[in-house]
Amino acid sequence: MSAPTPPRLLDLAGRHLLRAKHLDVSTLESLPTELFPSLFLEAFDGYRTETLKAMVQTWPFVRLPLGALIDLPHVGPLQAMLEALDALLAQKVGSRRCKLRVLDLRNTGQNFWSMWSGASSYGCSGSRMAAVAEPRSMTRQPSTPLKVFLDLCLKKRTLDNFLTYFLWWVEQRKSSIHLCCKKLKIVSMPMDKILKVLSMVQLDCIQEVQVSCTWSLSTLATLAPFLGEMSNLQRLHLSHVHVSAFKKQEHDHVVQITSQFRRLGHLRDLHLESPSFLEGCLDQMLRSVPPVNPVVKALSVRDGVVLYSWFLRHVSLEPGLARDVPEVPPLDSLSITKCRLTESDLTHVSQSPDISQLKSLDLSGVPMTDFRPELLQVLLERVAATLQEVDLDACGITDSQLEAFLPALSRCSQLRAISLCGNLLSTAVMEKLL
């Protein structure tokens, strides 16, 4: 049998310190930085609340990745940390070495703890890790608000104990706390509670939004102004929005929504499932610019018309501002599924300059029975240089349509996957595809 690994001197020193009855801020001021992470883990495992509070108030790193340790549905351990932060924010406790500017409550940062403690139990693969380093400038600005990172999943009728307490805590300290959420998922929650949560979040921090609940178009229109403020949004997944029979009112809701979509200048992945309100409305989401405008020189031109994609930010088109037009990255992924589109809609998509580098295209469940085959051919030709995945499941594609766009498909040199399930195609045409 192999002998057990003896404890490190660092671990022994931490355990010795924890035996002290009064390990307060003044004692921690002179503690070597290398001891903090391992001592924090020891105090956390032993639920030494007062020691943890003192360590938070003297934390010598910019970021405290607490989410890697805390089981968030339980309020107890987190409440002790927040009480320590209260004293710090109110400047009741002064510490010359405290550099804490970011409290991370996401399930990341395990590498930070394993690096300092040497404990493999806190480790995980590097590919899942979030960076713990922050720009140096943050440590020079003690007056800046404390950033708190938390991924939100709103999936209950009422907020759970943790979220209820935490949001109350943030609301009481709006001037000194910036709540940053990079991933937001909405499954089921009353809209009034959703809006209350979003009113506390720094909306420009949000990078990914997934809405997986059944909403009416009016409900989505209520959320739209908040969506428009998410200026750094990169991924948007929206599903099952229902349209009622009140055409005029629903048209007004569509305008409310599309006007906000145009502000999302960093969107890379767009997934719209069952967006029935889009039928015949994609032209409302595009913007044309007269060729005489000086800004035209800085934009893509097709057939003499400059088009703005509906998922891009609105660009001011004042004369003389051509060189100031921001360069907007094109989409990587576009998914519009399980809905009806018109030929005009498909034309607008194929003409958008922002699909020129598309890697993934998903139009599954979009009936193409009555579409002219040339439309899909033009769309595939536009993305032939970069397209890697295409999904045309259950589109009602016929033999003649597939044969028409096969030449364009054959020019997609980067194509790795194509799906045509649910289309009634003959063996002869499938052989041509192969």
- Mean pLDDT across the stretch 107-112? 77
Give the orientation angle of helix 217-228 with respect to helix 247-261, to 10 degrees: 20
280-338 confidence digits (pLDDT tens): 666 555 433 233 233 322 222 222 222 333 333 333 333 333 344 445 667 899 998 98
Q: Is pLDDT of 414 > 90? A: yes
- Mean pLDDT across the stretch 89-118? 77
Kindly write down the DSSP assignment for every residue of 323-352, as one continuous string: GGPPPPPPPSEEEEESS---HHHHHHHHH-
62-77 confidence digits (pLDDT tens): 999 988 787 655 566 6
CB 127 within 8 A of CB 58: no
pLDDT, position 200:
92
Q: Is pLDDT of 105 > 80? A: yes
Q: Is pLDDT larger for residue 125 or for residue 410?
A: 410
Report the Cα–Cα distance between both ends of the chain, in Å, rounded. 60
- Mean pLDDT across the stretch 404-421? 94
Pairing, β 287-289 against β 306-308: antiparallel
The band of 79, judged by pLDDT with boundaries at 50, 70 and 90, is confident
Query: What are residue 92's phi and psi, to 5 degrees?
Result: -75, -25
